[in-house]
Structure 1
Amino acid sequence: MQLEIRNYYEVLLLELLSDEGLLDELPEDYLADLCCITLNQLPTRYIRNLVDTHFFENYAELQQMKSEIQQALEKSRAYLKENQKKEG
């Protein structure tokens, strides 16, 4: 049996990266690392259907989640930048 569930924070993070054009700009390995490090800083919120989530979500809660993602993303980029300096 295949269940259709996913972490909503992952969906929102990928939307943010796409909106900023980073999915096309950054190397795939870097993006994978960036996403993993970012998502590990965030809570999980599993959803079944994205359409249902958009219908029932609270605007203030969505804005809070997006803010959390942006902060975690900034920390992750700084972390990766610092570690690239150490390796290089």
Structure 2
Amino acid sequence: MQLEIRNYYEVLLLELLSDEGLLDELPADYLADLCCVTLNQLPTRYIRHLVDTYFFEDYEELQKMKTEIQQALEKSRAFLKENQKA
């Protein structure tokens, strides 16, 4: 049995990466590492239906989540940059 659940932070992170053009710009291996390191800094928020989430979500909460993602993404990029030199 396959359940249709996903982490909403994943969805928002991928939207951010797409909006910034990074999905097309960065190598796939680096992108996968970047997503993992970023998501490991964030809480999980599981959803079943994305359309329901868009309908019921609070604007302030969404903005807070996007800010958390942006901050985690910046830290992750710095972390990966530093550790690629080693």
Q: Same fold (TM over 0.5)?
A: yes
Mapped partners of 2:32, 2:42: distance in 1: 16
1:14 corresponds to which residue?
14
CA distance in structure 2 between the aligned counterparts of 1:4 and 1:60, rounded to whole angstroms: 26
Alignment of 1:1-88 (within 5 A): 1-86=1-86
Measured in 2, the distance between the counterparts of 1:30 and 1:53 equals 29
Question: Aligned partner of 1:53: which letter?
Answer: T
Residues 18-50 of structure 1: CA deviation (Å, up to 9, x unaligned): 000000000000000000000000000000000
Computed over aligned residues only, the root mean square deviation of the Cα atoms, in angstroms, reads 0.4
Give aligned pairs, total.
86
Runs of at least 4 residues off by over 2 Å: none
- Identical-residue share of aligned pairs (%): 88
CA distance in structure 2 between the aligned counterparts of 1:60 and 1:85, rounded to whole angstroms: 38
For residue 2 of structure 1, report the CA deviation from its aligned partner: 1.5
Q: Provide structure 2 residue ranges, at least 5 long, that are not aligned to the other structure.
A: none
* TM-score, normalising length: structure 1: 0.96
Structure 1 unaligned regions, length at least 5:
none
